Structure 1
Amino acid sequence: MIRVLHTADWHLGQRLAGHERTEEHRAFLTWLCQTICDQKIDLLVIAGDIFDTGFPSNTALKLYYDFLREVKDTCCQEVVVIGGNHDSVSTLNAPAEFLRHYKVHVVGGAPENAADQVLLISSALGEPQLVVCAVPFLRDKDVRLSVPGETSEEREARLKQGICDHYSQFSPLVDDYKKQGIPVLATGHLFAAGSSASDSEKEIHVGNLGQITGDQFPTCFDYVALGHLHRPQVVNKLPHIRYSGSPIPLSFSENTDRKQVVVLEFADGKLASIQDLPVPCWRKLVRFKGTLDEILPKILAYDNIEFPHPAWAEVQLQYEHNLHEHTAKLHEAFAANTCVHLLIHRHQRTISDQSLDQQITQDQDLADLKPKEVFLKRCEEALGNAGYDELVSTFDELLELMPQQDEEIRQTANVSVS
């Protein structure tokens, strides 16, 4: 028997609206080490997108290497890491030879020889327990040859066929293991047709290019551990082909998603059980949507007592006019409730753009309005939904300078007269 934990899409080093996620990632990795011990995990599989960019920060790299060091002090015997579309092949592969001595197998990109992706996982006594076909994110050069003049449909078909062919080549390579009753696990970092993406996931290929269906994976695979999609899900109702999802919400579109890892148990040469294990949430992402009167009470009443870090909020403000005044009240509400911080402010005008004359009611006269009121109405007329906070700040500075300039002009005039 062998117990496996499947996780993916850590995106170490990710920033959300300029804010780092280091503390959340550190909390997850600490929890993961403890979970490996509690669940008696023998093999850890990380299905791509370890980092958020191809050039991770020193902080992100330290999180990664500190975790690999700590996990080797647990019951986990071996680790398999594959590259995702966000990962740099060279960054992941650079320490691969060194890490192999600690039974950490890294496949950052597809090697020329498919056999180099076939890993035999053995017990502490040296008994073969599982075969892993460690397939990373497949780039165009890995799966097809360029054909001048091909149409988009032909390119799509060739790309899909190239991915299918890449997986098919493992069938003869694992045939002897299957005959010995050794189960086979494959990895992948791709978009499987019929799956649901979130806002934070970039399409790997243009449009639907690269999509394959669950039944196109070879039947010799007892389980397919996928990465790339951040929502945990089964592919085409095939429970042995699934995405583990990301361990923390990486965008506000994931604020209601459950986060999890997948625990597998193989026994008697086959997959015996699959368990979805919830990942705790350390920072809540929340959305407030509606008019100012609808949003303000919710912001002031928001309670974040269950979570160790203040919540981050995205506000979708619906307004008719006076956006600057609405924004000021919005910031006052967040200042009054320190357990939730405003990260993203989107505004949506609920009436069509109006001219300056249309914005002035019949009982108003342009001469009766203060200069700033006229300026704000003019901004709304000219810019609509576009943000203009910097323009307003500059206008405020000009208002402050004007009295000073008037005084200087008066003093100059007096000197001239005298």
Structure 2
Amino acid sequence: MRILHTSDWHIGRTLYGKKRYEEFEAFLNWLSDVIQQNKIDVLLVAGDVFDTSTPSNRAQELYYRFLCRVVASSCRHVVIVAGNHDSPSFLNAPKELLKALNIYVIGSTTESLEEQVLVLKDDQNNPELIVCAVPYLRDRDIRVAEAGESIEDKERKLIEGIRNHYAAVADLAEQRRKEIGANIPIIGMGHLFTAGGQTVDGDGVRELYIGSLAHVKAEIFPSCFNYLALGHLHVPQKVNNNEFMRYSGSPLPMGFGESKQQKSICQVEFTTTDASVKLIKVPVFQKLEQVRGDWKEIKERILELSAINSNAWLEVIYEGDEVISDLRERMESFISDTEIEILRIKNNKIADRMLRQMNEEETLEELNVYEVFQRCLDAHNIPEEQRPELTNAYQEILLSLYEDDVQAE
């Protein structure tokens, strides 16, 4: 039995305002070809199918067209759990219809945990796999807030809630396996941040976990899982160096910080309950490159890209000593007859000069919500020793507001 583990598609995500539908379509076409060519039996998608809780019509079209192709392939089952970017109600809306096609969608946790324990059957209607399909667990799903709680209390209760949830679904899975009377594999799924997980600047994950809130250790996952398919972190990686506990990572770079990563998906093959894992490299569908240095270095690199008829999207970071006020104009003149696009120019020299002028020209559009909070702490001369607790509290409030927005859709 062959299983494909992927996650964090983020269909609909833009890059500095640039739409990327052609990339998403190319990836999904490639993925459906891999499923057919490698004779995949089960596809697991571990959250963040879409980038927002209200995906565009084009994003939805790509998603459902892909599912149609998978249903027509050799793949017998698809299991999709929601991530923190997904709207549980939106994903769940067609679940009964999709279930008839052996596509199982778990948008949110419910009181009946049986819905998260799926027994998948082979062509002869014999049970072949049990999947504990755990979606992104929101704070309200697993923790009861109490007045006067410390950061440590909240952390402890959150981790304990996640541990208890996985223990409960694992117990149900083992009961199912005992009832079946066959030693079939059990796979766990999840969308969360494990302690020690690797992130990169600008991936949207690092910023969400400035403190230690919601970091879970590998030990919380039940030992009965023969493989653990995780989503949320965009860097492909093992958990605690365990071959059978993995993040597949995002198949497309979510930002220029990921542009040098080799993206991949995980193919897991079972003989009884023994698994073997092989990484399948994802092709680059749109080249991204971060060009940084002084004017000479930037100019030389752009000329090199022009010479090979590159169609790369660039983020240019100017780090020279000379103040160049017309940097964008110079850049645009160099790429005017090429397929290269410059999506962002960061002129550090100008930025430093403006910061020395008390940020008079700085706008909210140039700052993320964490930088705004840091500006607020600076403006009110908050002592350094008080900042960690305030930052943790701010982070928790933001996470709660974000989850409320997604849940409301």
In structure 1, stretches of 5+ residues that fail to align are 354-378, 389-418
Which position in structure 2 is the counterpart of 1:148? 147
Can you give the 5+ residue segments of structure 2 that lack an aligned partner in the other structure? 364-409
Q: Please report how far the alpha carbon of residue 386 of structure 1 lies from its aligned counterpart in structure 2 after TM superposition.
A: 5.9
Amino acid at match of 1:200: D
Corresponding residue for residue 397 of structure 2: none
Structure whose alpha-carbon radius of gyration is higher = 1
Residue in 2 that maps onto 1:375: none
Cα separation, 1, equivalents of 2:204 and 2:70: 28
| Aligned match for 1:233, one of 216, 237, 253 | 237
Aligned counterpart for 1:252 among listed residues 251, 256, 269:
256
Query: Partner of 2:166: helix, strand, or coil?
Result: helix
Partner of residue 78, structure 1: 77
Q: Which amino acid in 2 is paired with 1:273?
A: S
Counterpart mapping for 1:378-417 below 5 A: 382=357
Q: Is the 8 A contact 1:201 1:229 kept in 2?
A: no
Summarize the alignment of residues 214-233 of structure 1 with structure 2, pairs less than 5 Å apart.
214-233=218-237
Alignment partner, residue 47 of structure 1 = 46
1:148 counterpart letter in structure 2: A
Query: Which residue of 1 is the match for residue 291 of structure 2?
Result: 288
Query: What's 2:340 paired with?
Result: 340
Give 1:12-411 correspondences, 5 Å limit: 12-179=11-178, 180-198=182-200, 199-202=202-205, 207-268=211-272, 270-302=273-305, 310-336=311-337, 338-349=338-349, 353=353, 382=357
CA drift of 1:206 comes to 6.3
State the SS of the aligned residue for 2:334: helix
Letter in structure 2 aligned against 1:181? N
Offset from partner CA, 1:256-294 (integer Å, 9 cap, x none): 1111110011112x1331000001111111011111111
Q: 2:42–2:78: 8 Å Cα contact kept in structure 1?
A: yes
Cα distance in 2 for residues equivalent to 1:212 and 1:387 = 37
Q: Which amino acid aligns with 1:3?
A: R
User: Could you tell me how far apart the structure 2 residues matched to 1:352 and 1:21 are?
Assistant: 32
Q: Deviations over 1:333-390 (max 9, x none)?
A: 2224x2321001111129975xxxxxxxxxxxxxxxxxxxxxxxxx8985889689xx
Query: Could you give the per-residue CA deviations for residues 126-146 of structure 1, whole angstroms, max 9, x where no partner exists?
Result: 011100000000001111111
Report the Cα offset of residue 215 of structure 1: 2.1
Aligned partners of 1:231 and 1:157: how far apart in 2?
Answer: 26
TM-score, normalised to structure 1, is 0.81
Q: 2-side partners of 1:165 and 1:204: how far apart?
A: 23
Once residues 351 and 305 of structure 1 are traced to their aligned partners in structure 2, the CA distance between those partners, rounded to angstroms, is 32
Structure-2 separation of matches of 1:200 and 1:36: 27
Change (3 A) 1:322 1:41: same
TM-score, reference length from structure 2: 0.83
Change (3 A) 1:380 1:196: closer
Cα distance change on mapping 1:384 and 1:107 into 2, 3 Å = closer
Shift of 1:212: 1.0
Instruction: Verify the 8 A CA contact 1:50 1:83 in the aligned structure 2.
Output: yes
Separation (CA, whole Å) in 2 of partners of 1:351 and 1:65: 44
Letter in 1 for 2:335: F
Q: 1:351 to 1:235 in 2, by over 3 A?
A: closer
Question: How big is the shift at 1:11?
Answer: 0.4
Secondary structure of the 1:126 match is coil
Counterparts of 1:352 and 1:54, CA distance in 2: 36
> Is the 2:314–2:341 Cα contact (8 Å) retained in structure 1?
yes
- Measured in 2, the distance between the counterparts of 1:259 and 1:333 equals 30
In the aligned structure 2, how far is the partner of 1:303 from the partner of 1:167? 52
User: 2:351 and 2:165 mapped to 1: Cα distance?
Assistant: 54
Distance 2:359 2:162 in 1: 46
Query: How many angstroms apart in 2 are the aligned matches of 1:46 and 1:136?
Result: 10
Alignment partner, residue 390 of structure 2: none
Secondary structure in 2 matching 1:106: strand
Counterparts of 1:252 and 1:47 in 2: how far apart (Å)? 23
Q: Secondary structure at the match of 1:169?
A: helix
RMSD over equivalenced CA pairs, Å:
2.3
Give the Cα–Cα distance (whole angstroms) in 1 for the partners of residues 307 and 242 of structure 2.
Answer: 37
In structure 2, what is the Cα distance between the partners aligned to 1:386 and 1:266? 59
Offset at residue 211 of structure 1 (A): 1.1
Q: Is the 8 A contact 1:319 1:350 kept in 2?
A: no
Give, in angstroms, the shift of residue 322 of structure 1: 3.8
Per the TM alignment, residue 115 of structure 1 is displaced from its structure 2 partner at its CA by 1.2
Hey, what's the Cα distance between the residues in 2 that align with 1:351 and 1:122?
59
Q: Deviations over 1:232-269 (max 9, x none)?
A: 0001111111000111111011011111110011112x
Name 2:403's counterpart in structure 1: none
Q: Distance in 2 between matches of 1:141 and 1:351?
A: 41
State the 4+ residue runs in structure 1 displaced beyond 4 angstroms: 203-206, 303-307, 350-353, 379-388
C-alpha separation between the residues in 2 aligned to 1:387 and 1:153? 36
By relative contact order (CA 8 Å, sep 6+), the higher-ranking structure is: 2
Q: Could you tell me how far apart the structure 1 residues matched to 2:279 and 2:195 are?
A: 22
Letter in 2 for 1:276: L
Secondary structure of the structure 1 residue equivalent to 2:328: helix
Segment of structure 1 superposing worse, 23-32 or 198-207:
198-207
| Percent of matched pairs sharing the same residue | 39
Question: Measured at CA, do residues 328 and 305 of structure 1 come closer, stay the same or move farther in structure 2, by a change above 3 Å?
Answer: closer
| Distance change (3 Å), C-alpha of 1:69 and 1:380 | closer
In terms of mean alpha carbon deviation, does 228-237 or 175-184 score higher? 175-184
Which residue identity does 1:125 align to in structure 2?
Answer: Q
Contact 1:349–1:385 under 8 Å retained in 2: no
